[in-house]
Amino acid sequence: MSGNGNPTVRRRRLGAELRQLRKATGMTSSQAAQCLMVSQPKISLIETGRRPINPRDVRDLCRIYGITDQEVVDSLMRMAKESGRQGWWVSCGDVPYGVYIGLETAAASIHSYDALMVPGLLQTPLYAAAVIAESFPRPTAEQAAVSLDVRLRRQHRAHHPARPLRLWTILDESALHRIVGNREVMRDQLEHLNSLGAQPHITVQVLPHSAGAHPGVLGQFSILTYPESETGVVYLERFTSDLYLEKHADRYPYQIMFDHLQAQALSADDSRHLINDMIKAYREAR
């Protein structure tokens, strides 16, 4: 049961472990809630990692599920204690995608497809500020400043000196043409994109318009993997509620989809040449 020390990842893994233990007994979540004298929604939130659980409740659930191996109980209680810690982003206030930041912070690699925008980890401050300013509902000046600060702090993880995040981004050509901010902002953003793509742990591929219909037409997705673990998460950003797919059967199609997109996209070198052509076009248009 060893795993990453990140509190978000710990909480989700602990929830998955408790769910498996409950199912092994044949108990429903309602029955477990009744034994623990809590509400059924609380059990569901715990098992999906959306709510922390204290070590005492973990101990009681282990008793309810008939777990007699003290090493297993101690390990689960330790995970509960570690999952109670707060990530750096909590101090920033009400961050709507805090769960994703926790998963991103702990990830060893992220493979993503983006159809409309340069992904947040690769954005310049001016590009990011323009995206945030046009989000809905419109943020106040204070909310926009907090969101920008969080986004830029997230980028530090991509360049961690000891364990840089492995990024592989496939970007639809549409994102290069979509003018965010203004032409100068776009030119600087594309120059930044090529600069990042030259680093050994970051790969940028462009999916050209000439590729026609492709598996990514349904929208953006990210595949997060973790060190010393075969588990991962597929993240689907949605307008009202994001989706996190953790079962292998749910994640596998997205890995296949990414492989197809990778094969249809331009190579990293050809992508760099295309981006350079766009930089030149923005410069001449000015």
Cβ–Cβ under 8 Å, residues 23 and 12: no
pLDDT in tens, 65-86: 999 899 888 888 888 887 766 6
| Strand blocks (E) in the chain | 109-114, 166-172, 202-207, 221-225, 232-236, 243-245
- The overall average pLDDT reported for the chain is 88
- Percentages (nearest 5) of helix, strand, coil residues in the chain: 60, 10, 30
pLDDT of 186 reads 96
Cβ–Cβ under 8 Å, residues 133 and 144: yes
Model confidence at 229, in pLDDT bands (50, 70, 90)? Answer: low
pLDDT of 121 reads 95
Q: Nearest CA to 223 among 111, 107, 114?
A: 111
Question: How crowded is the C-beta side of 235, counted as CA atoms within 13 Å?
Answer: 20
pLDDT of 31 reads 92
Residue 89 clears pLDDT 90, i.e. is over it: no
Q: How far is CA 162 from CA 34, 45, 100, 154, in A?
A: 46, 34, 22, 16
Model confidence at 2, in pLDDT bands (50, 70, 90)? Answer: very low
Q: Nearest CA to 42 among 79, 15, 17, 75?
A: 15
pLDDT in tens, 145-187: 999 999 999 998 888 877 889 999 999 999 999 999 999 999 9
pLDDT of 7 reads 67
pTM: 0.77
Mean pLDDT of 110-118: 95
97-285 has CATH 3.30.70 classification: no
Mean pLDDT of 24-42: 91
* In the chain, ranges of CATH 3.30.870 domains: 97-285
* In the chain, ranges of CATH 1.10.260.40 domains: 7-85
Cβ–Cβ under 8 Å, residues 27 and 66: no
Question: How crowded is the C-beta side of 55, counted as CA atoms within 13 Å?
Answer: 12
The residues, ordered by sequence, that sit 6+ positions from 92 with a Cβ below 8 Å of its Cβ are: 146, 149, 150
Q: Which CATH number fits domain 7-85: 3.40.47.10, 1.10.260.40, 3.40.50.1220, 1.10.3720.10?
A: 1.10.260.40
More confident residue, 231 or 215: 215
